[in-house]
Structure formats: C-alpha cells, structure tokens
Amino acid sequence: MDDSEFVLNQSSINPYILNIEYAVRGPIVANAQRIQSELDAGIPKPFTELIWCNIGDCHAMGQKPISFLRQVVALIVDPSLIESDSHYPADVKQRARRILDNGGGLQYSSEMLGLPVIRQDCANYIQDRDGVPCDPDSVILSTGAGEMIKELLQVFARLQPSASTVNGLQYGVMIPIPQYPMYSASITQYNLQSVHYYLDESDNWSLDLSELRRAYDEAVGKCEPRVLVVINPGNPTGQVLRKDVIEDVVRFAKEKNLFILADEVYQHNVYAEGAKFYSFKRVSKKITKWLRGALALHRLGPEFSTTVQLASLMSASKGYAGECGFRGGYCELLNPDARLQSLLYRQLANRGCPSVAGQAILDVIVNPPKPDEPSFAKHEREKSQVLGDLKLKAQMATETFNSIPGMRCNPVQGAMYAFPSIELPPKLIEEAKAKGMQPDEMYCTALLEEKGVCVVPGSGFGQRPGTYHFR
C-alpha cells in the first residue's frame, strides 16, 4: 500500500510537526540504543558498556531516591499500609493521610488545576522562599514542568495561516542560545517564531541586557515578540544568574511589554561559591519596593509587581529529588488578565487533570519533614548527600574538561550539566559539511561509536556560529 493511500501520511499531518527537532532524544541517542542492543547481543565493540550522558535523569545514573518521598507515595499507592505496617514513621503516615483525605487517591481524578491542598503547600513553599505572599489560586499543578511550558506557549499560538499574524507578523518567543530544545521544538509546533538571544560564554554564560535589546530590535518587523524565556539555573549551560541580571530582565520585559516565562526547575541545584538562586518573582517585588519613589517621580506607570506578567516553573524531576518518572510540576502565574486566565483554564480543562502521583511527589518536595518530626534527620542527611555529590561532580567535570587540550568549560554553578566548548580541526569541519552534518554532531557520533559515551552536540541546543560544544 502506497503511503499516500493512508489517511494519516506526510501530506495530511500537521505541517509544523514535520520541522520539529529534539536533540536530547535525537539521532545520536537512537544510534546509542542500537549499539546497546548489539552489546546486549554480544556483538564486539571497542568498549564493554555505554555511558549515557544525554539526559538529566539522576536515578538512571545511580542516584538513590530520597526515602521520605518514596515512603509517602508508597502509602498513597497502598493506603492499607498506613494501619497495617509499623515500619513507616509517623510523619510519613501523616503526610499520606493528609493527601488521601483531600482527594489524593491515585484512583481518582483531581481538580483541573490540581489538588487544592497541594496547591496551598506550593504557595506556602513559594512564600517561604521569597518572603512575599503567594496566592494558591495563582498556582497550577502540571504533569511535569514541560507540560506547562507547552500549554503556556500554545496560548500564544496561531496555528491557521489566516489567523497566524499580528500586523502581518507571527508572534515571537525570545529564547536563550544555548537553550533547552523543548522550547524550539514547541515554538515550531505552534507556528511561533524563535527570537534568539545569545548567552555570554566569556562571562560564564550570563545574560546581557544589550544582547536582549539587539535580539529584540532585529526581530521587530520580522515578528511580534511577546514572550521572553529565561532558564535559571541554566540548561545546558549550568550558570546561575546574578540578581542584578534578573533585575535587568524584569525592567526590559516591562519596557517591551513581554510575558516572562521563568524556567526555574533547577532552583535547588546551586553549587558554586558565591552563587545564589533568586526567583524572578522575588526580584520583581524588590524592584518594586526599590523604585517606588522613582516611578512616582518620573510617572513611569504602575509597579512592576502588578504589571509584568510572569509564569514561574518548578519540577519534581530536578533538584535533589530527581523524580523524572513521576512527572510532577507547578506553575505560578502572576498578573494574568481575567480573559487570559479564563482562556488558559479552558485549555487546561481539555487535558483532564495532572498526574496525581506527580502531584503527591511534588507535595512532599515543597512540604518536607519539619525539624521536630521523626523523618527530619534522615531526610536532611540524604538531601545533603545528593546535593553534595552533585557539587563534587560539577567541580570534577569543570576541572577535567579544562585539563583536556582543545576543550574549555566554564564553572558549573548549578543545574546538572556541563557545556564545554571543543576546538575541531578544519578537516573534520569540512568533512562534516560535505556529509550534511554539523561538525560537533560528527564529533559526538565518533565519541559514541569509538568510546561508548553518549552526549548531545551543542548544535542541538544552539550556539554562536563558528563555535562547537556538547552537553
């Protein structure tokens, strides 16, 4: 049967899907899976095992689960253990009962935005983190942060060509380069326009206001920029943004009337001396307080905290928990106008409800054992062990790459990745181009096939022309 005879074929599929690329699970990973199958079948290779470094899955790399998290979820999965098994500490049972008593049984659907009791716990966590109030009604739970990122971008989508323009132009989404490729893939899927701003590798991958202005100014006339994505701590680059840089971003977003999408899923992963995580919400509130007099003096309009629209994202997959498979996340949505909120909620209703198991694991992360509870000491010990190991690995990765001729790596300040630059010989670059490959893709393919190490080429994340990297 010819392909054209099928109802679903290349000519009938959503045309925007055809251009999606996602390097983290791309051709090199597919090649690695083939090699793994051949190793399992006893086919000789230059190595005896594969080292998988293509994705930030902590437990797949040997990290042990946090006991308290898994224990609470175990009791939610099998509530009979609460009464019948004395093995579990009292605070584990209390957490499980609280979630179960508030509709958190895995056999039930939850409310569209997530269980109210967990949204309240997320709001308490945000309030404790930032020192400013958080309304639980502004918190939306999701099946991983990735789901919510796609939902937010889809709000800006105009999928039909007749409705895809404003003043004849597509909406634009400003994304950092290098970036996490889910952003570029989703932007393509929803027929939006990517607006690239480059992170400064010479300044440890920091974000520069003049570069934001350059990218915005060059995009005007080609698209209508509407969204500004910032990933902090950075993926794939591992930087932690300074407070003054975040202040610049908030001012810029206000000036250009941009919606900030703050990807803060690695907020617990900060290792470098002197580095500290500041949420966009916290900084915008501080700016408001600091500039209140100047705003009145120069009549610059309402305060930042009531005008800048912001979505802040956190995930159970990262941090010290690393629970990728449970798919739990939250979004705090600030300053949505009533119409936007109504439309977003209508869209979210179409998804059903977020994973209840993911909601449960997220709740334990934002509401961990208290100092007077029996699980506190063990939980703190395990948490410190995980973050201490990640800090050590970050230092080891940085030092090792910088000891190799032809490689250079900025200090890994946070997140879970190193993004070293590599010097490639002109002959390899020419050969790669002749084969229709990116040079760093060819390098990473050779690294896989000759040494058994699976990494993702920098071209899959974006990079300045003429530079080459891998994550």
Please report the pLDDT score of residue 338 as a whole number. 77
Token look-up 């079948």 returns 41
Residue 172 lies in a domain: yes
Residue 92 maps to a domain? no
The CATH number assigned to the domain holding 339 equals 3.40.640.10
- Specify the pLDDT at position 107: 77
Residue 24 has pLDDT above 70, yes or no: no
Count of structural domains within the chain: 2
| One domain, residues 263 and 313 | yes
Question: Does some domain include residue 322?
Answer: yes
Q: For residue 177, how many C-alpha atoms fall within 13 Å in the half-sphere facing its CB?
A: 19
CATH number for position 409: 3.90.1150.10
Confirm whether 471 is domain-assigned. no
Is the pLDDT at 166 greater than 70, yes or no? no
Residue 293 has pLDDT above 70, yes or no: no
Task: Grade residue 301 by pLDDT with cuts at 50, 70 and 90.
Answer: very low
Q: Of all residues in the chain, what percent carry a pLDDT higher than 70?
A: 92
Asked if residue 123 has pLDDT above 50, the reply is: yes
Flag whether the pTM goes above 0.85. yes
Asked if residue 270 is part of any domain, the answer here is yes
Could you read off the pLDDT of 77-93 as tens digits, one per residue? 999 999 887 789 999 99
Question: What's the domain range around 221?
Answer: 116-366
Claim to verify: residue 215 and residue 323 sit in the same structural domain = yes
H or E element at residue 332: strand 329-334
255: nearest Cα among 212, 289, 293, 205: 212
**275 within 8 A of 414, measured Cβ to Cβ:** yes
Domain edge (last residue) among 308, 341, 366:
366
Type of residue at 456? V
**259, 258, 303: which is closest to 284 by C-alpha?**
303
Parallel/antiparallel/unpaired status of strands 193-198 and 259-263: unpaired
pLDDT class of 291 with cuts at 50, 70, 90: low
Cβ-based neighbours of 310, under 8 Å, separated by 6 or more? 259, 260, 262, 280, 281, 284, 332, 333, 334, 335
In the numeric block, which tokens belong to residue 231? 């990933």
Q: What is the mean pLDDT of residues 309-313?
A: 95
Looking at 26-40, 130-144, 293-307, 378-392, which range is the least confident one?
A: 293-307
What tens digit of pLDDT does each residue of 182-226 get?
A: 999 999 999 999 999 999 999 999 999 999 999 999 999 999 999
pLDDT digits (tens, 9 = 90+) for 406-458: 999 999 999 999 999 999 999 999 999 999 999 999 999 999 999 999 999 99
